[in-house]
Amino acid sequence: MQFKGNTFWITGAASGMGKTTAIEIAGNKARIIISDRDEIGLKETARQIEELGSTVRVEPIDMSNPSQIQQIAKRVLAEEKVKGLYQFAGISQRSLVIDTPMENYRKIMEINYFGVVALTQAVLPHMIENGGGQFAAASSMVGKFGFPLRSAYSSSKHALHGYYESLYAENAKYGIKVSMLIGGRIQTNISKFALNKDGQEHGKMDAGQANGITAEKAAKQICKGLKREKREIKIGGFELIMLQIRRFCPSLYFKLAQKIKPT
C-alpha cells in the first residue's frame, strides 16, 4: 500500500490508535478523512494533521447510527476517491457474563460490528469501481480467543474476523486487501470508556494497559503492516505471546485465563 498521494478514511480518529494512525499516515503526504462522534477531539486531530502539511476532511459520525453512516458515506464517496478505510471506533466492556445484560451486548455489537460492517458495505463497491483498495479494522487479542470480563467485546471482534475473511475471499480478485489489527496492551482510553454491568463507564485505565506501548508506537507498527498489506497485524509487546499459547497450548491458555481476577 502506497500512502503518498492517496486518500484514507479513518474512524475513531479523535483519540487513541485512530488518532495516531491518522497522523502517522498524514506524515506520508496522504489526504485524510477523519471520523468520530467526539467533534472536539476530531478538531485537534485535524489541527495536527494540517501542521504536517497534509489535507484533512472532518466528518463526525456516530457508529451506532446506521442511517447516519449511510448518509455520510454517500456524501463522502461522491466527492472523494477512498483508497483505504481503517476503522478504529469501538467500545469495550468490563463485566462478567452472568452480570452482563442483553442491552450491553446489543450496544457493543451495534458499534463494534454492525457500524463497522455498515460503513464497509458502503465503501466496498466504490473501491472495486476504482480498481481496489484496503480495509483495516481494529480487532484485539481477545478477537482471537475468549477472555474474562470481555464476553461482549470479544464476541464483537470475533464477528469482525468472520466478516472480513469472507469479504476478502470474495473480493481479492478485484484488488481488495484486508488487514485485521490484533492489539495487545496499548495506552488508550478504551478501558476508561468500557461498559460495566450497569452500562456505565468503567472510568479507569487497566493496570496492564497502562504499562503497554504508547498509541504512537502502535501507529508505527500498524502503518508498517498496512504498507506490507499483512492480513493480520499484531500490535503490542510481550503480551502477544498469549496468541501463540492459545494456538499451540490451549490447555495452558485456559488455565491462565481462569486466574484472571474480576476488576
CA 40 to centroid of chain Cα atoms:
20
Among 105, 113, 153, 164, which one carries the catalytic annotation?
153
> Which residue, among 10, 169, 254, 206, has the nearest Cα to 93 in the 3D structure?
206
Q: Residue 55: exposed, middle, or buried by beta-carbon count in 10 A (0-12, 13-18, 19+)?
A: middle
> Which residue, among 9, 20, 7, 15, has the nearest Cα to 222 in the 3D structure?
20
Q: Residue 138: exposed, middle, or buried by beta-carbon count in 10 A (0-12, 13-18, 19+)?
A: buried
What are the grid coordinates assigned to 217, written together?
Answer: 508506537
Distance CA 40, CA 53 (A): 21
The C-alpha torsion from 26 through 134 and 163 to 10, rounded to 10°, is: 20
What are the grid coordinates assigned to 123, written together?
Answer: 465503501
Looking up cell 460492517, which residue turns up? 117
Secondary structure element (H or E) that encloses residue 10, with its range = strand 7-11
Asked about 153 being catalytic, the answer comes back as yes
Question: What spatial distance separates the first Cα and last Cα of the chain, rounded to whole Å?
Answer: 41
Q: Which positions are annotated as active-site residues?
A: 153
